[in-house]
Amino acid sequence: MSTGYFITGTDTDCGKTLVTLGLMQSLKASGYRVAGMKPVASGSQQTAQGLRNEDAVSIQRRASDAIDYRLINPYAFEPAIAPHLAASDAGIRLEMDVIVECYRQLAATSDRVLVEGVGGWRVPLGTDWGIAELARKLDLPVILVVGVRLGCINHGLLSVESIMGSGCRLAGWVANHVDPGMLEPEGSIETLSRLIGAPLLGKVPYLDTPSPGDVAARLVAPD
């Protein structure tokens, strides 16, 4: 089976998808066959093919091979709310085994599979499981995307503490500058670098229209 990474973040809108796409491009450039997943997605749109999530579609397009959308995003919901609430409103129960099976199918034909979580590390998906339990079940090392804005030191360190306490390995973290008006962002990144016991894989500056190529150029894929 292939190896891969689980991409999580300090919060929603911290840049998880952007970093996922950048890592996919970087790994492809290194000669790997790459696939990606966004197993659960809120904020999807109705299309002729059914519900489609913009981030998941971007991941689908970035893969090395053509992949059935249902493997990339087995659970899509229209309202942009917490996924377990969206699932409850739709009368759907999120099943971890369904996600694991989709991952296994992708892993069987890929060298690397990047799995992007939803929201932050502690987002619940069922009554007794969530993002942390899913990452542990998939047995994937975790990459944390820290949205660099006011409060990111606290959010980053709490996320790292929770990841390590969940029995998962933190492969590294990415500093993604999301607030152009933040004062002393480099100071916050330096503080996090000193306190997080995992490598800084890249610093992504604030970009008006960032592309996966822009991000890939600023990332170092973990070992």
**CA 15 → CA 22, 145, 180, distances in Å?**
11, 7, 14
The tokens for 143 are 């990459």
**Other CB atoms within 10 Å distance of the CB of residue 55:** 21
Q: What are phi and psi of 41, to 5 degrees?
A: -140, 125
Six token digits for residue 173 = 């973290």
Residues 6+ apart with CB under 8 A from 31: none
38 is catalytic: yes
Q: Which of 28, 38, 137, 203 is catalytic?
A: 38
User: CA quadruple 182, 185, 187, 192: dihedral positive or negative?
Assistant: positive
| Contact present, 83 and 75 (Cβ < 8 Å) | yes
- Contact (CB, 8 A) for 106 and 64: no
Q: Judging by beta carbons within 10 Å of its beta carbon (0-12, 13-18, 19+), is residue 24 exposed, middle or buried?
A: buried
* CA–CA gap between residue 58 and residue 82 (Å, rounded): 21
Q: What is the set of active-site residues?
A: 38
